[in-house]
């Protein structure tokens, strides 16, 4: 069992994020899903970027920090797309994180990686927001820094393919993503704070 902070995408706190949290809880994990906007979720990615601009990137990061503050230092940092970037940005402040689970986006400064840190990334292939050369550079840097990194690319689906309420959704890729994510979380070292 792990403590997990699951950070939403630029769309905001959509039903798919709550459903993902329920799936993780059903597997025995303790999951916190902070609302980084404090606004109803967006219906389109363009409206999501309007919300992000309204709230501000610094405020989004501050709200994530506040949400994580009461959680154990070993809490797994997880996020969807923009939330993956937020999770990665918090890694340097939470060096004891048990793992980094990234859905639909890279995240994490290689300088913040401790040797052996478990990291798992799930991306559409191709992904309009994650150029392959940048992903390859990030992957090489994370591996060189000592991360125990797994990268899974899913040919064909759209960017946010695990969200059943957007056009990007791909049921087969989503099912495989959750299967692999649950295995990743199950195989993390036991978290004494989660018992």
> Distance (Å, rounded) from C-alpha 85 to C-alpha 132?
17
Using one digit for the tens of pLDDT, what is the confidence trace for 125-150? 999 999 999 999 999 999 999 999 99
Using one digit for the tens of pLDDT, what is the confidence trace for 105-128? 999 899 999 999 999 999 999 999
Domain 3-194 class in CATH: alpha beta
Using one digit for the tens of pLDDT, what is the confidence trace for 46-94? 999 999 999 999 999 999 999 999 999 999 999 999 999 999 999 999 9
pLDDT tier at 157, thresholds 50, 70, 90: very high
In this predicted structure, the answer to whether residue 18 has a pLDDT above a threshold of 60 is yes
- Could you tell me which residues come within 8 angstroms of residue 150 by beta carbon, excluding any fewer than 6 positions away? 119, 120, 121, 180, 184
The answer to whether the beta carbons of residues 107 and 87 sit under 8 Å apart is yes
Using one digit for the tens of pLDDT, what is the confidence trace for 22-41? 999 999 999 999 999 999 99
Amino acid 190: pLDDT: 72
pLDDT tier at 191, thresholds 50, 70, 90: low
Using one digit for the tens of pLDDT, what is the confidence trace for 179-189? 999 999 999 98
> Which residue ranges make up each domain of the chain?
3-194
Q: What is the DSSP letter of 12?
A: B
Cis ω before 193 (30° cut-off from 0)? no
Q: How many CB atoms lie within 10 A of CB 22?
A: 12
pLDDT tier at 1, thresholds 50, 70, 90: confident
In this predicted structure, the answer to whether residue 193 has a pLDDT above a threshold of 70 is no
Q: Mark out the alpha helices in the chain (DSSP H runs).
A: 15-26, 45-55, 57-68, 82-90, 132-144, 171-186
pLDDT tier at 192, thresholds 50, 70, 90: low
Question: Per 3-state DSSP, what percentage of the chain is helix, strand, and coil (rounded to 5)?
Answer: 40, 20, 40
């Amino acid at each position: 069992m792990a403590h997990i902070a699951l950070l939403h995408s630029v769309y905001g706190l959509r039903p798919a994020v709550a459903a993902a949290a329920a799936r993780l809880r059903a597997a025995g994990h303790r999951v916190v899903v902070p609302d980084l906007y404090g606004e109803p979720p967006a219906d389109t990615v363009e409206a999501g970027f309007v919300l992000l601009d309204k709230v501000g990137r610094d405020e989004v990061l501050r709200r994530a920090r506040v949400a994580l503050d009461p959680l154990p230092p070993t809490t797994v940092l997880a996020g969807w797309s923009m939330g993956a970037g937020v999770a990665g940005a918090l890694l340097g402040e939470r060096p004891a994180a048990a793992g980094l689970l990234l859905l639909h986006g890279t995240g994490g400064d290689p300088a913040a990686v401790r040797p052996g840190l478990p990291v798992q990334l799930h991306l559409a292939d191709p992904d309009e927001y994650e150029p392959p050369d940048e992903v390859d550079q990030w992957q090489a840097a994370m591996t060189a820094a000592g991360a125990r990194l797994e990268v899974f690319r899913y040919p064909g689906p759209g960017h946010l393919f695990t969200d059943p309420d957007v056009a990007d959704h791909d049921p087969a890729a989503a099912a495989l993503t959750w299967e692999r994510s649950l295995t990743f979380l199950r195989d993390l070292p036991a978290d004494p704070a989660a018992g």
